[in-house]
Amino acid sequence: MYRFIRLLIREMLTKEGRFRMRFFLIRNLPGESGFYIRKQVLSKRFGSVGKNIRVDHGLQIRNIDKMYIGDNVILGVDNFFQAGGCIEIGDETIFGPSARVWSQNHKFDDPDLPIREKGYDYKKVVIGKRVWIGANTFIMPGAELGDGCIVSACAVVGAKKFPSNSILAGNPARFIGKREHKEETDNSES
Protein backbone atom coordinates (compact mmCIF):
# COMPACT_ATOMS: atom_id res chain seq x y z
CA MET A 1 0.00 0.00 0.00
CA TYR A 2 2.85 2.34 0.84
CA ARG A 3 4.32 1.88 -2.66
CA PHE A 4 0.96 2.70 -4.24
CA ILE A 5 0.69 5.93 -2.24
CA ARG A 6 4.24 6.93 -3.24
CA LEU A 7 3.42 6.29 -6.92
CA LEU A 8 0.19 8.28 -6.63
CA ILE A 9 1.96 11.25 -5.02
CA ARG A 10 4.74 11.15 -7.62
CA GLU A 11 2.16 11.17 -10.41
CA MET A 12 0.21 14.04 -8.82
CA LEU A 13 3.38 16.16 -8.76
CA THR A 14 3.43 16.30 -12.58
CA LYS A 15 1.09 18.35 -14.76
CA GLU A 16 0.33 15.32 -16.96
CA GLY A 17 -0.34 13.13 -13.93
CA ARG A 18 -2.79 15.64 -12.45
CA PHE A 19 -4.59 15.88 -15.82
CA ARG A 20 -4.91 12.09 -16.11
CA MET A 21 -6.35 11.83 -12.60
CA ARG A 22 -8.78 14.69 -13.18
CA PHE A 23 -9.92 13.24 -16.51
CA PHE A 24 -10.33 9.77 -14.98
CA LEU A 25 -12.77 11.25 -12.49
CA ILE A 26 -14.89 13.05 -15.11
CA ARG A 27 -14.70 10.84 -18.20
CA ASN A 28 -17.90 8.94 -17.40
CA LEU A 29 -20.02 11.64 -15.76
CA PRO A 30 -23.56 11.39 -17.17
CA GLY A 31 -25.80 14.04 -18.71
CA GLU A 32 -25.29 17.67 -19.62
CA SER A 33 -23.05 18.31 -16.62
CA GLY A 34 -20.70 15.60 -17.91
CA PHE A 35 -20.63 17.13 -21.41
CA TYR A 36 -19.90 20.53 -19.91
CA ILE A 37 -17.09 19.52 -17.56
CA ARG A 38 -15.33 17.29 -20.13
CA LYS A 39 -15.39 20.12 -22.66
CA GLN A 40 -13.96 22.55 -20.11
CA VAL A 41 -11.15 20.26 -18.99
CA LEU A 42 -10.18 18.94 -22.44
CA SER A 43 -10.40 22.23 -24.36
CA LYS A 44 -7.34 23.52 -22.53
CA ARG A 45 -5.30 20.47 -23.59
CA PHE A 46 -6.02 20.04 -27.33
CA GLY A 47 -3.52 21.43 -29.85
CA SER A 48 -6.45 23.63 -30.87
CA VAL A 49 -10.20 23.32 -30.52
CA GLY A 50 -13.13 25.13 -32.11
CA LYS A 51 -16.33 26.21 -30.47
CA ASN A 52 -19.31 24.06 -29.51
CA ILE A 53 -17.59 20.69 -29.33
CA ARG A 54 -19.40 17.88 -27.55
CA VAL A 55 -17.49 15.20 -25.68
CA ASP A 56 -19.53 12.11 -24.86
CA HIS A 57 -18.68 9.81 -21.95
CA GLY A 58 -16.00 7.16 -22.12
CA LEU A 59 -13.61 9.12 -24.37
CA GLN A 60 -9.93 8.16 -24.30
CA ILE A 61 -7.17 10.24 -25.88
CA ARG A 62 -3.42 9.74 -26.05
CA ASN A 63 -1.23 12.73 -27.04
CA ILE A 64 -4.14 15.17 -26.78
CA ASP A 65 -1.85 18.12 -27.58
CA LYS A 66 -1.52 16.76 -31.14
CA MET A 67 -5.27 16.85 -31.83
CA TYR A 68 -6.68 19.79 -33.77
CA ILE A 69 -10.47 20.00 -33.75
CA GLY A 70 -12.82 22.33 -35.65
CA ASP A 71 -16.17 23.82 -34.64
CA ASN A 72 -19.28 21.79 -33.74
CA VAL A 73 -17.49 18.43 -33.60
CA ILE A 74 -19.03 15.54 -31.67
CA LEU A 75 -16.63 13.05 -30.08
CA GLY A 76 -18.84 10.01 -29.45
CA VAL A 77 -19.37 7.51 -26.67
CA ASP A 78 -16.26 5.41 -25.94
CA ASN A 79 -14.18 6.92 -28.79
CA PHE A 80 -10.43 6.34 -28.61
CA PHE A 81 -7.89 8.65 -30.27
CA GLN A 82 -4.14 7.93 -30.46
CA ALA A 83 -2.81 11.27 -31.73
CA GLY A 84 0.96 10.72 -31.51
CA GLY A 85 1.32 11.41 -35.25
CA CYS A 86 -1.29 14.24 -35.25
CA ILE A 87 -5.03 14.11 -35.89
CA GLU A 88 -6.91 16.96 -37.61
CA ILE A 89 -10.72 16.97 -37.49
CA GLY A 90 -12.76 19.46 -39.54
CA ASP A 91 -15.90 21.38 -38.56
CA GLU A 92 -19.26 19.60 -38.11
CA THR A 93 -17.71 16.11 -37.99
CA ILE A 94 -19.34 13.46 -35.80
CA PHE A 95 -18.08 10.16 -34.44
CA GLY A 96 -20.35 7.21 -33.65
CA PRO A 97 -19.91 5.02 -30.57
CA SER A 98 -16.61 3.16 -30.12
CA ALA A 99 -14.89 4.76 -33.14
CA ARG A 100 -11.08 4.58 -33.06
CA VAL A 101 -8.54 6.84 -34.76
CA TRP A 102 -4.82 5.96 -34.66
CA SER A 103 -1.99 8.13 -35.99
CA GLN A 104 0.87 5.96 -34.80
CA ASN A 105 1.65 2.29 -34.94
CA HIS A 106 4.39 -0.06 -33.78
CA LYS A 107 7.26 -0.67 -36.17
CA PHE A 108 7.41 -4.35 -37.02
CA ASP A 109 9.95 -4.76 -39.85
CA ASP A 110 12.68 -6.71 -38.00
CA PRO A 111 11.32 -10.09 -36.80
CA ASP A 112 14.34 -10.65 -34.55
CA LEU A 113 13.47 -7.78 -32.17
CA PRO A 114 10.49 -7.74 -29.80
CA ILE A 115 7.79 -5.34 -31.03
CA ARG A 116 7.95 -3.28 -27.83
CA GLU A 117 11.61 -2.39 -28.55
CA LYS A 118 11.14 -1.19 -32.12
CA GLY A 119 9.54 2.22 -31.59
CA TYR A 120 6.72 3.76 -33.60
CA ASP A 121 5.80 5.03 -37.06
CA TYR A 122 3.87 8.31 -37.00
CA LYS A 123 1.45 9.27 -39.79
CA LYS A 124 -0.93 12.20 -39.65
CA VAL A 125 -4.68 11.51 -39.97
CA VAL A 126 -6.80 14.20 -41.64
CA ILE A 127 -10.60 14.09 -41.37
CA GLY A 128 -12.41 16.79 -43.34
CA LYS A 129 -15.49 18.87 -42.56
CA ARG A 130 -18.97 17.38 -42.18
CA VAL A 131 -17.67 13.81 -42.02
CA TRP A 132 -19.69 11.07 -40.32
CA ILE A 133 -17.64 8.27 -38.76
CA GLY A 134 -19.92 5.30 -37.96
CA ALA A 135 -19.93 3.09 -34.89
CA ASN A 136 -17.02 0.71 -34.27
CA THR A 137 -14.90 2.10 -37.10
CA PHE A 138 -11.12 2.06 -37.06
CA ILE A 139 -9.16 4.76 -38.89
CA MET A 140 -5.51 3.83 -39.38
CA PRO A 141 -2.42 6.08 -39.44
CA GLY A 142 -2.08 8.08 -42.66
CA ALA A 143 -5.79 8.07 -43.64
CA GLU A 144 -7.22 11.21 -45.27
CA LEU A 145 -10.97 11.67 -45.53
CA GLY A 146 -12.22 14.55 -47.68
CA ASP A 147 -15.10 16.82 -46.69
CA GLY A 148 -18.51 15.17 -46.47
CA CYS A 149 -17.31 11.55 -46.34
CA ILE A 150 -19.34 8.86 -44.62
CA VAL A 151 -17.61 5.86 -43.08
CA SER A 152 -20.05 3.03 -42.37
CA ALA A 153 -20.14 1.10 -39.13
CA CYS A 154 -17.32 -1.38 -38.50
CA ALA A 155 -15.21 -0.14 -41.44
CA VAL A 156 -11.41 -0.19 -41.24
CA VAL A 157 -9.94 2.78 -43.11
CA GLY A 158 -6.32 2.32 -44.19
CA ALA A 159 -3.64 4.85 -45.09
CA LYS A 160 -5.35 6.12 -48.24
CA LYS A 161 -6.70 9.43 -49.42
CA PHE A 162 -10.45 9.43 -50.09
CA PRO A 163 -12.09 12.26 -52.07
CA SER A 164 -14.85 14.48 -50.69
CA ASN A 165 -18.33 12.98 -50.33
CA SER A 166 -17.12 9.37 -50.59
CA ILE A 167 -19.15 6.65 -48.89
CA LEU A 168 -16.85 3.97 -47.47
CA ALA A 169 -17.58 0.51 -46.09
CA GLY A 170 -15.85 -2.75 -45.30
CA ASN A 171 -12.57 -4.14 -44.05
CA PRO A 172 -10.52 -2.81 -45.64
CA ALA A 173 -12.75 0.20 -46.29
CA ARG A 174 -13.44 0.84 -49.95
CA PHE A 175 -15.41 3.34 -51.95
CA ILE A 176 -19.02 2.15 -52.38
CA GLY A 177 -20.71 5.36 -53.47
CA LYS A 178 -20.69 9.12 -53.59
CA ARG A 179 -22.94 11.66 -51.92
CA GLU A 180 -24.35 14.12 -54.42
CA HIS A 181 -25.59 17.66 -53.92
CA LYS A 182 -29.36 18.01 -54.28
CA GLU A 183 -29.04 20.08 -57.48
CA GLU A 184 -26.99 17.30 -59.12
CA THR A 185 -29.63 14.64 -58.43
CA ASP A 186 -32.48 16.93 -59.52
CA ASN A 187 -30.73 17.66 -62.84
CA SER A 188 -30.00 14.00 -63.53
CA GLU A 189 -33.68 13.07 -63.13
CA SER A 190 -34.79 15.52 -65.87
What is the reported pTM? 0.88
Is residue 39 over pLDDT 60? yes
Mean pLDDT across the chain: 93
Cβ(110)–Cβ(118) under 8 Å?
yes
pLDDT tens-digit map of 10-33: 888 988 888 888 888 899 999 999
Q: What is the DSSP letter of 84?
A: T
Tell me, what's the pLDDT at 179? 93
In percent, how much of the chain has pLDDT > 70?
Answer: 96
Contacts for 7 with CB less than 8 Å, ≥ 6 apart: none
Tell me, what's the pLDDT at 141? 98
Tell me, what's the pLDDT at 177? 95
Tell me, what's the pLDDT at 86? 98
